[in-house]
Structure 1
Amino acid sequence: MTRHWTPLAVVYLALAVLGLVGTWTFNALAIVQMRDFIGDLVSSGPAVSSITVDLLVVAVAGSVFIIVESRRLGMRFGWLYIVASGLTAFAFTFPLFLAMRQRRLTRAAAPREG
């Protein structure tokens, strides 16, 4: 049996977990404090707006990459990573996609077992 979890795939998976925990810690804090999440996101000044635009552009570029790369590699349900990012965080789903992509590439490169 070949090992599909390469060190690179594990790094991506660890980043996915970090992204999920990191973003949801602040989401939970916003819920507990009963904050207007969208209002805080767009009205907290130029620095926050700059970060928001920066991350939005990266998320859109990453989403395009997910669709193109999942089609190229024959990975089914690539769109689901993008949909799931709305429920969790792109900081979770993008590294998760990269981990699954790495597994697919490793599996494709492994010699066929009889």
Structure 2
Amino acid sequence: MPESVRTPARGRRVLAAAWFLLALGGLVGTWAFNLAFMADPQGLGYLEGWFANAASSSAAVDVIVVAVAASLFMLAEGARIGWARWAWIFVPLSFAIAVAFTFPLFLAIRELALYRRERLVG
């Protein structure tokens, strides 16, 4: 890869750390609200709550579209960089845990793998 296209090694590690922090924020942030909902569902089913009004419906469609796009990206990128055997794990985890957690986690792990690959190539 030409030097002008490579991400500096330190930059890859910093970016991976940022992705890991976002994954942690996504995990804690979504599950704080999920647990609060489970403690007091106010008569709504979980998915029914997603579409309780126009604002929540807009946010739900936004998250669903991003989750599907992220899933496709993780599968395609996983295959491209040789992770096809296990990249698919992120897809069901996105819907079971939160795409706000799994997508930045995938990006962090990917960044570290690219860093290691660049160090081996030299």
Range of TM-score over shorter length: 0.7 to 0.9
Corresponding residue of 1:104? 113
Percent identity, aligned pairs only, is 40
Report the TM-score, using the length of structure 1 for normalisation.
0.88
Please name the residue that 2:29 is paired with.
22
Please say if 1:85 is aligned against 2:94: yes
Ranges in structure 2 where 5+ consecutive residues have no aligned partner: 1-8
* TM-score normalized by the length of structure 2: 0.82
Instruction: Find the aligned partners of 1:54 and 1:87 in 2 and give their Cα distance.
Output: 17
Q: Whole-Å Cα distance in 1 between the matches of residues 120 and 90 of structure 2?
A: 29
**Deviation >4 Å, runs of 4+:** none
- Give the whole-Å Cα distance in 1 for the aligned partners of 2:68 and 2:25: 20
Q: Figure out how many residues of one structure are paired with residues of the other and give that number.
A: 110
The answer for the alignment partner of 2:48 in structure 1 is: 39
Backbone CA RMSD of aligned residues = 1.9
Task: Identify unmatched segments of 5+ residues in structure 1.
Answer: none
Quick one: higher RCO (CA 8 Å, sep 6+), 1 or 2?
1
| Deviation of 1:34 (Å) | 3.5
Aligned-residue offset at 1:100: 0.5
